[in-house]
Chains A and B, each alone.
Chain A
Amino acid sequence: MLKRIDVLLCFGSGCVSAGAKKIKEELQNQVKAYDIDSEVNIIETGCMGPCDQGPLMLVYPEGVFYKQLKPEDMKEVVEEHFVKGRVVERLLMRDESVAAKAIRNVEDVPFYQNQTKIALKHCGYLDPESLEEYVAVDGYSALGKVLEQMSPDDVIKQIQVSGLRGRGGGGFPTHLKWKFAKAAKSDDGKKYMICNGDEGDPGAFMDRSLLEGDPHKVLEGMMIAAYAVGACEGFFYIRAEYPLAIQRIKLAIENAKEYGLLGDNILGSDFCFDVEVRTGAGAFVCGEETALISSIEGKRGHPKPKPPFPANKGLWGKPTNINNVETFANVPPIILKGGEWFASMGTQKSKGTKVFALTGDVKNTGLVEVPMGITIGELIGKVGGGMSSGQFKAVQLGGPSGGCLTKQHWDVPIDYDSLIAEGAMMGSGGVIVMNHEKCMVNVAKFFLEFSLEESCGKCSPCRVGLKHMHNILEKITAGKGTMEDITELEKIGSVVKKTSLCGLGQTAPNPVLSTLKYFRNEYEEHIKEKKCSSLVCADLLHFEINKDKCVGCSLCAKKCPTGCIEGSKKEKFTILQGECVKCGNCLEVCPVGAVAKLPGILSEDEE
């Protein structure tokens, strides 16, 4: 029977982790209970974007967007909305700017309004497990166009006109990569095409969302690339931490094979292409292309020196082209609408749009796609909706290989070259917004810890240098640093950058170097004044009881694990600083708010 309602349920990993499966079960029960199950389509889609609002549901034809659903809400949604036609207002998004007005249509949600979606266009709109739905929105038409009307050189030319650059972080022009791989000679004619889905940057999840939400688009982009460079075999390399993405892409490949879109003589042409999925096993370094190749070959994921580049000598020594997931997702739209259309967006050297994973102390967190060249201020203030708490202090772009920028960079356009010039990096597009409560020395230490942990250990600058830098940061955050340490950090940092074998080491010092550049005063404060103004570094802060406020209830003394709080009802209580382990229990339990957390260390005589 004809359906009258399309219910799209976000089944991206975010919403699933927030309980989307239970929502679906209950929805199915309720629709049956009201005897309208034959009138309603329930469709699982990929990520809709605003992950912190999940689980999410989008109801068509009205385009009503429900957020933060609970299984017990389903009865009301079905009875009120589906049966009686009354939208359930309390589950709608609200527009904070207009007296918290409920938003009835998904198109009016502020989160989406400042976005331009190309790669993510159908993420959260299509059933990613249906090849047919993808075809309905022009899916595989770009491939058809390429096979019927364009030579490999025409394809490369269009990509060149579009100005597309690698979305994985490096920003290398895509058409050049393809050109090199096309020109490379292979002794037995074999060339390989690889899709890099080893997204490991903490805070970046656009590749996962694309693979989960629109797998056919990535596959189509990859096939067009394969046609352009003359590859007839391909591999998806996806990290094992993304089971849903692996499952969806495998299904997409299977369906494409059934429809004859993969295999020999695709759409009646001479083009033949076959593709397999390989999963990683938890090694960040495998996102680096030469390490990734080693991993596909079944070896330890060690990077190799370049040259030779994979374009000439890649997988099993054959010419190989590797592109990131998001890069491939941009290819079909470019082919359909033309390179000039894509190049009309963005800045002079960075064209098109970029997907960012917006997180941290910002109101709207989630996945956003914006034109290149949007300023940091616009991204945080407009798309992100401003700060969720506290004052803006810094923004970390590009994860462990990127850097921290400050208020002074509010007007810096986000594109590959401007960010590098400021000491940050596009990276894969992770954006962490931080408020005044974050300690930048600690943040730098944190990112360095990640790189240190993930360093494969093959080359010594990365293996030893990062460890040394980390030791110094530990010293500084413990209040034992000296001013020479700062110089030492800068010195080692620049050596590690220059001499490391692969991208991991070459960029790992960035978080430290950029914070040294823009937040040097914080390092100096940690060293000279033994103070952490953000109250993060435990060794550089102390707790104090205000005797005027203290009511002498002794709760703090009872909860103190080291018994370092003394006093009586009459005398009130005091903390013996020397024995305090800074657990913060006293602050938590004090019923009158007499305990304060303060920057700096109290010396014995001050007590």
Chain B
Amino acid sequence: MTNFEKYLPKPENILQLLHLAQDANPLQYLSKDALMEVAEFLKMPYNQVYSVASFYSMFSLKLRGKFVIKVCLSPHCVVQGSDNLFDYLKKATKKMDEVSLEACQCLGVCGNAPVVLVNDKVYGNMTQEKLAGLVQNLKEGENVL
């Protein structure tokens, strides 16, 4: 049971509650149970909670790994080669259950493109070599470069 108590049970708090629920899950997603919990806390129909959760791209309704790698595929980063990095990561993390690879839109760190986000850590000026090091560290369970 996630601790929602710091928010009032008002419908306007739903996004914050969903963030909270997702962050509390080591698999970084919103399970059906989590959505039910939010619905119950807010006294809101389940389908309404589901409808909100499914609208926003940062909420995952599918199980994810311990590390969620997001590669920015907005114009700046692609111009600097982030699409190649994405392809590289696809291969490099294929057999790693602890990693979920996702594409994302601009993270606003364009001066340091290409940019890769791992959970809440932003890595700028990425290259394939740096990524190889990062993936190795992730294998050892550490989100550092």
Contact = CB atoms under 8 A, between A and B. Distances in A.
Tell me, yes or no, whether A and B come into direct contact in the complex with CB atoms closer than 8 A.
yes
Interface of A: 13-14, 16-19, 50-52, 54, 199-205, 208, 240-243, 278-284, 295-301, 357, 359-360, 365-367, 396, 430, 432, 438, 443, 446-447, 450, 453-454, 456
A582 B19 CA distance: 43
B109 A280 contact: no
Contacts of A14: 109, 111-112, 124
Contact of B105 (A54, A202, A240): A202
Interface string B104-137: 1111111111010000101111000000000000
Nearest to A446: B75
A279 B19 contact: yes
Nearest to A300: B55
B16 interface: yes
B9 to A, nearest CB: 11
A241 B112 contact: no
Interface of B: 10-16, 18-19, 51-52, 55-59, 74-76, 78-79, 104-113, 115, 120, 122-125, 145
A282 B56 CA distance: 5
Contacts of A430: 110
Contacts of A205: 108-111
Contacts of A396: 75
9 contacts: A200-B105, A200-B106, A203-B76, A242-B108, A280-B56, A281-B59, A283-B55, A299-B52, A359-B110
Of B15, B16, B19, B120, which is in contact with the most chain A CB atoms at under 10 Å from its CB? B15
Given A18-B125, A281-B18, A357-B110, A203 B74 contact: yes
A284 B105 contact: yes
B40 to A, nearest CB: 15
Chain A CB within 10 A, most for which of B10, B76, B112, B115: B112
Contacts of B76: 202-203, 359-360, 432
Q: By CB atoms of chain A within 10 A, which of B122, B124, B125 has the most?
A: B124
Contacts of B57: 281-283
B52 A18 contact: no
Given A202-B106, A284-B105, A54 B16 contact: no
A281 B23 CA distance: 13
B122 A240 contact: no
Ordered nearest first, which 7 A-B pairs have the shortest CB separation? A51-B111, A17-B124, A202-B74, A281-B56, A282-B58, A202-B106, A282-B57
